[in-house]
Structure 1
Amino acid sequence: MTDARMPSGVDGQTPPVPRSVFITGASGFIGKALLKRYKALGATVRGMDLVADPQNDIVAGDLTRPERWAAHASGCELFINTAAVVSLAAPWSLYREVSVRGVRHCLDVAIAAGAKRFVQISSIAALGWNYPALADERCDVVIGDQYRYGVAKGASEHVVLAAHAAGEIDCTVVRPGDVYGPGSRAWLIEPLKMAKAGALILPNRGKGVFTPVYVDDLLDGIMLAAGLEQARGQIFHLSSARPTTCGEFFANHWRWAGRKGSPKTLPLPLATALTSLIWRVNGLLKVNSEVTPDAMYMLARTADISIAKARRLLGYEPKVSLVEGLRRSEDWLRSTGQIGS
């Protein structure tokens, strides 16, 4: 059952429920959860995704061809862009088309539709993988040839904040931590498949920092950022109250897969060298795979992020503990037949 409530802000205020919401990537993990929550609150919610879903008023389209779906956003009050290249292995050309030009297309559609607020769902990947302890929203975004997904996320933020600075539309950027929960492909389904195959490998003895945020907590943060006046023009980190390690988090997948012990580990230099070789071979064989050096860097992050700004300005407070979130996730995996009873 969807939680039909609007979270309370820092001073106890409740953001108004938007009359009409438009969501890109509306059939994805975060997009679908937002769609259900806003609908439960009584908002009219429409969306776009690669495949149409008429039952949920979602039309087919992508960020590179806005003319195919722009009319469907007409009249929306709130525009939320969750659509992105969800890959650590895509070419630069695709990241540019989707994360830079595609985000600019979204802004143009939102402005033409009459939206009052534009929310860009970015990622803490924009900080890279070797950021300082308790990194906040003032830290550098990553640049360079590595960690393409993070570089693309940082570029998308620039496009959005430039539009805000120019007075085109009020914008807010949200950087989620590692979002998990029932339906998560990135942090539940795919790692479980790898664990079942015995192919789940972690760098640096699994000591990389993992910043989990349960999907319901993320929704609270997004809705506060989308509805409160003080969130205009701001970037917010949204994560849990405390991090864990990759070894501790993915030990659950190893157990769910029926395996004893812990996932295999390799030193980071060896892990990146091995995945680089696999990535090149897969490229020659035209095999799509997320086994890349960037995946190893992501699992070797060295520090936690700060959510102090979201707490101070929004009143954001994560409520679902990691133990409870993993219990709910395990129940979902069992109910869907992905692990045994």
Structure 2
Amino acid sequence: MDSRTILVTGASGFVGSALCRQLNMLGVFSVRAPSRRDAELAAETDWVSALAGVDAVIHAAARVHVMQENANDSQAEFRRVNVDGTLNLAQQAAAAGVRRFIFISSIKVNGELSQPGQPLRADDTPAPQDAYGVSKHEAEQGLLQLAAATGMEVVVIRPVLVYGPGVKANFLSMLRWVQRGVPLPLGALPNRRSLVFVDNLVDLVMACLDHPQAANQVFLASDGQDVTLSQLLRAIGQALGRPARLLPVPPSLLHAAARVLGRGDLAQRLLGSLQVDITKNHQLLGWTPPFKLEQGLNLTARAFLDAQNR
């Protein structure tokens, strides 16, 4: 049987590289992964040659959060890449006869927080709160409209925080804090968070490549296990073989300190809950996460320690 060609954007990124590894390992796909320079996301980018003979597109490239934002109009810059660039790629994909377009979106389309006992669901009314989330939502809307107009099937996947070997940003900071034995005032937090191990996310994408019930649907991606931040840090400590040093500071004091320091936004991300319900994934796709949270954390910690010993 001839191999099918899959175009993966963002192939050098954390999620994109994991997708490419899995596709290549299966041995039934020909993976096309344009370089970052060749795959600039813009309304004028020409994708014709990259899309020739492609069966499906997995679009993982995006403009993500920038800590030191230099753009004069942040929303316009996010729209230029995440909306205009995405829809340009999708329009050319439809014209090239691509069968299915999988869009890696973000839980930020649903919102920033969930209320106690009310996990976010894929079919909830979107409520993005920042420029990034708004741009992802606008891209989703445009893609689903394009699907209706052209017949190209679109699948939207909104991951929560993704972790795994080679993870960067805030999750890497947590690994470093725990390994160094830094005392953290986070031992009394009742908030609950959903996370997704990168290989669970990849497995969901693989399920969505061909499943007929995935067409033109939105799915949330998580491990299906929610933990408090305190529980997560203790589990990271266990995976690293170093007990997490957590101080039981009341959440009200942490909120007050964050307000005094002008970091109310950080307090919201750190102290609030963000839980998701992935029941739809099982109902429509028969999909459940193959890796448990403990397995994902152990693999992440092992890679972290191995990188330090090189």
Shorter-normalised TM range: 0.7 to 0.9
Q: Which letter maps to 1:63?
A: L
Alignment of 1:271 with 2:261, yes or no, is no
Q: Is the 8 A contact 2:233 2:244 kept in 1?
A: no
Match of 2:221 among 215, 233, 238: 238
Cα 1:153/1:271, change in 2 over 3 Å: farther
Cross-structure match for 2:52: 74
Cα 1:270/1:111, change in 2 over 3 Å: farther
Q: Is the 8 A contact 2:110 2:126 kept in 1?
A: yes
Aligned length: 298
Cross-structure match for 2:136: 153
What's the TM-score, normalizing by structure 1? 0.75
Bigger shift: residues 84-93 or 115-124:
84-93
Alignment of 1:135 with 2:120, yes or no, is yes
Deviations 1:321-341 (A, max 9, x none): 21121111111011111xx69
Cross-structure match for 1:281: none
Give the Å deviation of 1:271.
Answer: 2.5
Give the Å deviation of 1:63.
Answer: 0.8
Cross-structure match for 1:289: none
Give the Å deviation of 1:234.
Answer: 0.4
Q: Provide the C-alpha distance between the structure 2 equivalents of 1:203 and 1:163, rounded to a whole number of angstroms.
A: 45
Q: Provide the C-alpha distance between the structure 1 equivalents of 2:10 and 2:181, rounded to a whole number of angstroms.
A: 31
* Aligned residues: CA RMSD: 3.3
Cross-structure match for 2:40: 62
Cα 1:95/1:193, change in 2 over 3 Å: farther
Alignment of 1:307 with 2:278, yes or no, is yes
**Alignment gaps of 5+ in structure 2:** none
Deviations 1:68-96 (A, max 9, x none): 55422322110111111221645222211
* Percent of paired sites with the same residue: 27
Give the Å deviation of 1:304.
Answer: 1.9
Deviations 1:241-299 (A, max 9, x none): 221112322445678597861288763464266355xxxxxxxxxxxxxxxx5554333
What's the TM-score, normalizing by structure 2? 0.82
Q: Provide the C-alpha distance between the structure 1 equivalents of 2:283 and 2:76, rounded to a whole number of angstroms.
A: 38
Deviations 1:186-210 (A, max 9, x none): 4533444566899997889543322
Cross-structure match for 1:163: 146
Q: Which letter maps to 1:308?
A: T
Cross-structure match for 1:45: 31
Give the Å deviation of 1:164.
Answer: 1.7
Cα 1:275/1:103, change in 2 over 3 Å: farther
